Amino acid sequence: MREGGPGVGRSFLGAGAVLALTLAAGRLSGLLREMQLAASFGVTSNGDLAVILLTLPDLLVNVLLAGGLSAALVPRLRALSPLEASSLFKSTMIGVAAFFTAAAAAIVVWPGATFAILAPGMAAVDVDLHRRALGAVALAIPLTAITGVTTAYLNAHQRFFVAGCGTLIFNLCVIGALLVADSSIAMALSLALGIALGAMLRAASQLAALPHSAWERRARPGRLDGPFVRAFMAATGAASLMLLVPIVVRALASLTGAGSIASFNYATKLVEVPVGILISAAGTVALARLSEHHARGDAAGARVLTRDSLQRTILLSLAVLGPGLLFADAAVAALLGRGQMSVEALHRVSVLTRLALIGLPFVAIVAIAAASLNAQGRSVGMLRGTLWAALALPLLALPGVLLHSERYLMLAVVAFQAVHSVLLLRVARIPTLGPAGWLGPTMLGRVALIGALTAVVGVLDRILLIESHWIRLVVATATFAVAAALPLRVWRGSPPAVESPDDR
């Protein structure tokens, strides 16, 4: 699959800007969705049910499909002729639609098993009372899976806008559904219908945006080839394990009492906003640039780029972490403090949010290390490192299970992220110390700079005792902006260590 020559280089920044804007729109609309969800259900058993209904389609599809599909399908589509790419696209669409339609039917037939896996602590009566809602959500499952295939095809053709707007479309439908309902029982059914409608509109928008080459009449669906299947299985295994960890811990949290799933969800979604906009975007850009270096055989340039990308992404994560720890209570109160959210519920979510924020630097390391491994075609190595980290999860989660503590369970997620980051650094052979390492004196100085700024703001916050949550949230945002900008300005003034011509 060829893309038009000289214009591609000039359009790289424009495509990146489009991708960043759509990612930001999707994440911010997701934040609005969580705000409305919290106002409608609070931290209650109904809130637990709402979270299960809302996350079920994306959870099932992402765990079994999306992570590996994008990593395997996009490069494969770009390597094939238009006729071969159309054949692969049709084959994948048919297989995915059939598999996830069967999975949706199984969920409708055995709803008790679904809730027993995702929320073992949820009362069985809730399953029976909301069978219709679960049936409506099941309609969204094959539609979400189809969207995963169309997104890969659109991205392969560098049509980022429509694919990126899919999350925005879905979230707006969910928000609208919650706004029109007037009771908790009606809200559950209305939420399910909003999920189904959002999945339908998201899939329809992408199907309409597909280029004509996707439906080439001469292309016939055939058997999926071996290289694609192997790449898909390895990438899916690693992506699924990373996605399953917070889901497994969230399910364990349901054993600690009503509202635990909801409180976990609100805290996680708040942290996912900076992760999606900053860290995931940095990983996407790093993957594209590292792939170019490795394709040219420029190993030295790839090493320098990996180190620089890792340093910058970690500094961005620390710029979020500092203000986040100081002002998490203000953010939670300002964004979620209405409707069914009590003072106790807000405090509960604030504590979990602070704990989840601790994992941001480890998430940053994983993002860049994974980009390095994927750029080298070493998806099996990434799977191996992720698998070893996942095997440590039962031990990490044991204190939370024994003590019935959702806080210790959130710390188990952070501990997994830390173990995962260390293992991927080793698998990717990214040095930490030494002349070529990312954690040198200059990096430590930048970390200290962010820490000093955060400490000063923290002291001022205690002295001034600002009562307005919104004003404190503005202060947190300004602190992040300065904390993110200062090290980058220092960066421009310091000479690079080793630099390839393409990185100047």
Q: Which residues contact 258 (CB under 8 A, 6 or more apart)?
A: 44, 45, 48
Mean pLDDT of 116-124: 69
Cα–Cα dist 201/214, whole Å: 20
Q: Is 127 or 153 the better-scoring residue by pLDDT?
A: 153
Q: Is residue 467 pLDDT above 70, yes or no? A: yes
CB atoms within 10 A of CB 67: 22
Residue whose C-alpha is closest to residue 406's, from 352, 344, 343, 345:
352
- Residue 172 pLDDT more than 80? yes
Kindly report the pTM of this predicted structure: 0.72
CA nearest 167: which of 70, 277, 13, 24? 24
Asked if 291 contacts 370 with a C-beta cutoff of 8 angstroms, the reply is: no
End-to-end C-alpha distance for the chain, whole angstroms: 30
Question: Domain map of the chain by residue range?
Answer: 1-224, 238-496
Q: Which of 249-258, 316-325, 493-502 has the lowest mean pLDDT?
A: 493-502
Over residues 218-231, the pLDDT tens digits come to 655 655 556 666 66
Which of 28-42, 119-133, 177-191 has the least mean pLDDT? 119-133
Structure-token pair, residue 383:
């799977």
Asked whether the predicted pLDDT for residue 458 surpasses 90, the reply is yes
Q: Name the token pair of 459.
A: 């002291």
Q: What sign does the CA torsion over 123, 128, 129, 135 have?
A: positive
Paired tokens of 467 = 């009562």
Packed helices 260-274 and 406-427: angle between N→C axes, nearest 10 degrees: 40
* DSSP conformation class of 62: I
